[in-house]
Amino acid sequence: MFLSKSFGYALRGVLYVALLEPKGKKIKIEQIADKLAVPRHFLAKIMKKMVQENILTSTKGPYGGFSLSPITLQTKLLHLVKITDGMEQFNTCVLSLRKCNSKNPCPLHFQMLQIRDGMLAEFSKTSIGDLLDKKNPDFIKSISVI
């Protein structure tokens, strides 16, 4: 309901790179997909989009893989949502009637506005770096299927 699987894969993928990449090596998509138990090629498409948006960098060829970009840790979650789910949901009426609009509200409009604005606020202020907790030795578990 709230967010697509793609969004979850994107966030877990970038967090995995952020957690391990500082060791110096690039992270291969195969390793990410294996460790996170995510469909490899599906994840690859999502990672590619993140690279296009400069949320990650990647290099092809031997010793290649994914690594952080200068903006990775400052990237807001809303940017990931934009990439994976799009922003239409935030200004489309929950009853699928039309563009959501306070001048011409549906019966649920103001309730939904509050909920969506809460989510928008949270995702606008929270960055990928905010979610990364390198000090926690169990952090890797928190982004893996148990």
Partner DNA sequence: TTCAAAAAAGACATTAATGTCTTTTTTAGT
Partner DNA sequence: ACTAAAAAAGACATTAATGTCTTTTTTGAA
Instruction: For residue 66, give the H/E element and its range.
Output: strand 65-68
Question: Of residues 51, 55, 116, 135, which one binds a second copy by CB under 8 A?
Answer: 116
Give strand pairing partners of 68: 56
Name the segment binding DNA (CB under 7 A); options: 21-29, 104-112, 116-124, 135-143: 21-29
Taking the complex as a whole, the smallest distance from the CB of residue 49 to DNA amounts, in Å, to 9
Residue 28 partner contact from DNA, a second copy, ligand FES, none using kind-dependent CB cut-offs of 5 to 8 Å = DNA
Q: By CB under 7 A, what part of segment 40-99 binds DNA?
A: 40-42, 44-45, 47-48, 51, 58-66
φ, ψ of residue 52 in degrees (nearest 5): -60, -30
Residue 132 partner contact from a second copy, ligand FES, DNA, none using kind-dependent CB cut-offs of 5 to 8 Å = a second copy
Contacts 24+ apart (CB under 8 A), 77-81: 77/11, 77/122, 77/123, 77/126, 77/127, 77/128, 77/131, 78/120, 78/123, 78/124, 79/53, 79/55, 80/7, 80/10, 80/11, 80/14, 80/50, 80/55, 80/128, 81/3, 81/7, 81/123
| Segments in the chain forming alpha helices (H) | 5-20, 29-36, 40-52, 77-84, 109-125, 128-131, 139-142
Nearest CB to a second copy, comparing residues 25 and 141: 141
Question: Of residues 71, 73, 83, 131, which one binds a second copy by CB under 8 A?
Answer: 131
Q: Is 91 in the site for a second copy (CB under 8 A)?
A: no
Q: Is 93 in the site for ligand FES (CB under 6 A)?
A: yes
- For binding to a second copy (CB under 8 A), which residues are involved? 1-5, 7-8, 11-12, 15, 77, 85, 89, 94-98, 104-108, 111-112, 114-116, 118-119, 122, 126, 131-133, 139, 142-146
